[in-house]
Amino acid sequence: MDSDVITTLKILIIGESGVGKSSLLLRFTDDNFDPQQTLTIGVDFKTKKLTVDGNTVKLAIWDTAGQERFRTLTPSYYRDAQGAILVYDVSSYATFAKLEMWLNELETYSTKRNIVKMIVGNKIDVVSAACKAMACLLRVSFQHNREVPREEAMNFARRYKTLYIEASAKTKHGVQSAFEELVHKIIQTPGLWESFNDHIQVGDKDHPPSSTCSYCVLT
């Protein structure tokens, strides 16, 4: 392990096919966006060091395929994960509706009972572009051209006690914050990871983390 790294955290990215899981991972790890990104076959894997609250961790991030034919490959990858990012497409209600199924699967296969979960509404750039185009066409202010209302998604996250943020892999908006917020919560969750008490600096739980998280349940 690198001398400055306190631990390695296993993070899963799950959700329906085509919601932008691989694009979020590529943006976070390589600061790159490929509009021709191919669908993941089976599982992709990347690592990245991240410093949060003065602590440097190494993230081992598993990007799982959303297609049904690859589902039998994924259960073993849930094992020992400390965090999970559940992604949906804000312009596709069908992908949002499947989040409950993904949460149930996570509950079934996760070996960490207190695994930290975050819901990410991706592709807000698509909604923004559509809104601008419609507003220009109609010459009116138009702000509701999305299939998943923000309030509904936030209420869903509140109900399942998950973190929540909206992001765009294309524009980078919210991507870094999503991973930082997830790691912040993992570090503050006792017993979830193997800590080195001489090195860790856990912040005050009553002090909100500095991020652009749209809604967070930090209980």
Give the integer Cα–Cα distance in Å for 157 and 154.
5
Which two tokens mark 215? 């809604």
Q: What percent of the chain has pLDDT over 90?
A: 56
Distance CA 66, CA 18 (A): 8
Q: Of 8 and 68, which is predicted with more confidence?
A: 8
Domain ranges of the chain: 5-187
Query: Tell me: the pLDDT tens digits for 160-193?
Result: 999 999 999 999 999 999 999 999 999 999 889 8
The answer on pLDDT for 48 being more than 60 is yes
55 within 8 A of 6, measured Cβ to Cβ: yes
DSSP code for 215: B
Share of the chain above pLDDT 70, in %: 70
Q: What's the pTM value of the predicted model, to 2 decimals? A: 0.81
C-alpha distances (whole Å) from 6 to each of 58, 146, 205 are 8, 41, 20
Which residue from 203, 116, 132 is spatially nearest to 164, judged by alpha carbons? Answer: 116
pLDDT (0 to 100) of residue 127: 67
Query: For the chain, what's the residue count?
Result: 219
User: 55-64 and 5-15 as β-strands: parallel, antiparallel, unpaired?
Assistant: parallel
Matching CATH number, 5-187, of 3.40.50.300, 3.30.70.560, 3.30.450.20, 3.50.50.60 = 3.40.50.300
* Residue-level pLDDT at 172: 94
